[in-house]
Homo-oligomer: A and B are copies of this chain.
């Protein structure tokens, strides 16, 4: 092991993508500070906001993250903010903390998909456990979502005809039937089908069917509702 050049360790501009991020929406300044300290101590990247609006206005980085949210906030309440995030299709896992909670509040939060609902005072470890669980949940969701996003982009790169053919192939129709359905010659369908396999990078019909299923094309009447 001779001494050699290595990539510098202090390139703090890259580390943004390192660990999970924790967003904190909390109006109480001292609480905010203590939360931030807690997270920094265990190496978590924490970013704080004083209100829901503040957080919505800043553009959130696209990394594994979770949200520690106070229920009682100036302006929109934490619970309403949770609904709002859902409506905006922002799927960040939420951990509520509150000093003045009640049961209906916690139930509403949990129904809304919250990871946890902690009442002050709580032990640091409780919050950290919740944050870690939330981050893990977000990581899984992202990795699943990334797959369908990738597939969708491949699919959208298909020509319209190719897309139609792919859908019908996934339905289980034969080339002949697809041709009839689309008013084409069978040979044409075969060619588009070949394009589909190449462009979707499917190495077998089984893979293509699986992709189609992932994209939400239903093959048969296996399930509904």
Binding site for B on A (CB under 8 A): 101-104, 106-107, 110-111, 116-117, 119, 140, 143-144, 147, 169-174, 203-207, 209-211, 213-214, 219-220, 222-223, 225
Contacts and interface: CB of A to CB of B under 8 A. Distances in A.
A222 B147 contact: yes
Contacts of A206: 169-172, 205, 209, 219-220
Contact of A213 (B140, B147, B213, B225): B213
Given A209-B206, A210-B209, A210-B219, A119 B106 contact: no
- Residue of A204, A206, A225 with most partner-chain B CB within 10 A: A206
Contacts of A203: 172
Contacts of A102: 103
B220 A207 contact: yes
11 contacts: A104-B119, A106-B107, A107-B116, A107-B117, A140-B225, A143-B223, A147-B222, A171-B206, A172-B203, A172-B205, A207-B219
A204 B103 contact: no
Contact of A222 (B106, B119, B172, B214): B214
Nearest to A170: B206
B211 A209 contact: no
Given A205-B205, A206-B219, A207-B219, 13 more contacts: A102-B103, A103-B117, A106-B107, A143-B225, A147-B223, A169-B206, A170-B206, A174-B204, A205-B209, A206-B220, A209-B219, A210-B213, A210-B222
B172 A204 contact: yes
Contacts of A147: 222-223
Given A203-B172, A213-B210, A213-B213, A223 B144 contact: yes
A209 B172 CA distance: 10
Contacts of A111: 110, 116
A107 B171 CA distance: 43
Nearest to A218: B210
Contact of A103 (B119, B171, B223): B119
Contact of A107 (B110, B169, B174, B204): B110
